[in-house]
Amino acid sequence: MSLTSEQKAEIDALRANPNQTLRTVSDGMEKHLYSAIPVLDHGFVRVIDYMGDDAAICQAARVSYGKGTKSVQNDEGLIRYLMRHWHSTPFEMCEIKLHVKLPVFVARQWIRHRTANVNEYSARYSILDREFYIPAPEHINAQSVVNNQGRGDVLQGDEAKRVLEILKADSARCYDNYEAMISDDGQAGLARELARMNLPANIYTQWYWKVDLHNLLHFLRLRADAHAQYEIRVYADAICNVVADWVPAAYRAFEDYRMGAVTMSAQMMDCLRRMLKGETVEQENSGLSAREWREFQDMLST
Ligand SMILES: Cc1cc2nc3c(=O)[nH]c(=O)nc-3n(C[C@H](O)[C@H](O)[C@H](O)COP(=O)(O)OP(=O)(O)OC[C@H]3O[C@@H](n4cnc5c(N)ncnc54)[C@H](O)[C@@H]3O)c2cc1C
């Protein structure tokens, strides 16, 4: 992870000077505040600010005057009920603001989540750093033969070496040309907003990203899922760990009723009922397409 010594000193100074507040704080989240969690080769996620905790979800659900907590056990029961029944607005009462450093091709997937507030580093105003995502050898895979949107086996030997060399050489050459174009040494120098167009999608960008807990959990359900691309999944995994410390009861409910849960169609439920009655159900007599049948099998497999 690439933090300069000044940036590290700034974070240390912030952590060394706590403020007193009347607001609710989450002890689990306080330990994360400002610190950068490394992700990929140069990326990170760090919590800049947050609002609310598990009790705040219950407080909003009960529209309470005070803290609103009945008991920790009661609160957890309520949170689990709310999550189970898609009663989502109490979760929107908690918010988080993150500073994320990520490759541009990951940012393109991330930005599709529209229910957040974003402010990105300006490559019109500033010069981008010479930092490119180069996958570790164990994350250089062949195209999957079963899933057009996925990867297969890890590339080996000379082929892996050749791919890595191309990635490194292209990144270096593009950045050299970027620098050469913006340089005003003996020339006018191209505007930064134009020079950036030849930079590859593995260059790192940064943004502040603020989102409420309901929409964050939606993001995590999609991006911490095994079907998500590895390079965004590692960010989602890092955020999952933060959320587990911030709102532990809500995170447990999320794991049980979202991440660990499945959605079955009416036809799948019909197959399940017939199977429970002892009937032999195959794809041919299931009423499901071959793909749905495979997905149904996946749901039932341990
Ligand atoms: C594994 C995977 C593969 C994907 N592949 C592709 C792909 O090939 N091509 C592609 O283009 N995208 C792809 N996506 C992106 C995907 O289609 C969604 O755009 C992305 O996941 C954001 O989801 P969202 O709209 O639910 O999230 P958000 O934008 O955060 O929205 C959250 C929820 O708010 C509501 N909402 C937000 N904005 C609106 C609105 N304007 N109108 C109505 N309701 C709204 C919806 O209920 C939505 O579910 C992929 C995503 C995943 C996880």
State the distance from the centre of ligand 1 to the C-alpha of 93, rounded, in angstroms: 22
Q: Is the CB of 86 under 6 A from ligand 1?
A: no
**What architecture is the 5-133+202-259 domain classified under in CATH?**
2-Layer Sandwich (3.30)
Confidence of residue 1 (pLDDT cuts 50, 70, 90): low
Express each pLDDT in 125-138 by its tens digit.
Answer: 899 999 999 999 88
pLDDT in the model for residue 146: 74
In this prediction, residue 31 carries a pLDDT of 95
The percentage of the chain sitting over the pLDDT mark of 90, rounded to a whole number, equals: 78
> Which of 92, 110, 111, 114 best tests ligand 1's pocket when mutated (most atoms within 8 Å of CB)?
114
Could you tell me if the CB of 274 is within 6 A of ligand 1?
A: no
222 lines ligand 1 (CB under 6 A): yes
85 lines ligand 1 (CB under 6 A): no
**Does the beta carbon of 227 sit less than 6 angstroms from any atom of ligand 1?**
yes
**pLDDT digit string, tens, across residues 55-103:** 999 999 998 766 655 676 789 999 999 999 999 999 999 999 999 999 9
Residues 156-171 pLDDT 10s: 888 889 999 999 999 9
Q: SS3 letters for 240-294? A: HHHHHHHCHHHHHHHHHHHHCCCCCCHHHHHHHHHHHCCCCCCHHHCCCCHHHHH
Q: Where are the domains positioned within the chain?
A: 5-133+202-259, 137-200, 266-300
Distance from Cα 291 to the centre of ligand 1, integer Å: 22
Candidates 106, 111, 222: which one to mutate for ligand 1, based on the most atoms within 8 Å of Cβ? 222
Q: pLDDT per residue over 215-232, tens digit each?
A: 999 999 999 999 999 999
pLDDT averaged over the chain? 93
Q: What is the pLDDT of residue 229?
A: 96
| pLDDT at site 147 | 77
- For atom 25 of ligand 1, the residue with the nearest CA is 113
For residue 112, report the distance from its CA to the centre of ligand 1, in Å: 6
User: What pLDDT does residue 69 have?
Assistant: 59
pTM (predicted TM-score): 0.93
CA of 193 to the centre of ligand 1 (A): 29
> What is the per-residue pLDDT for 37?
97
How much is the pLDDT for 4?
A: 86
Which range, of 120-129, 170-179, 230-239, averages the lowest pLDDT? 120-129
The rounded distance, in Å, linking the Cα atoms of 257 and 266 is 19
Residue 80 CB–ligand 1 contact under 6 Å: no
* pLDDT band, residue 155 (cuts 50/70/90): confident
List the catalytic residues. 223
CB 193 within 8 A of CB 123: yes
Q: Does residue 120 have a known ligand-binding role?
A: yes
Q: Categorize the per-residue pLDDT at 302 as very low, low, confident or very high, splitting at 50, 70 and 90.
A: low
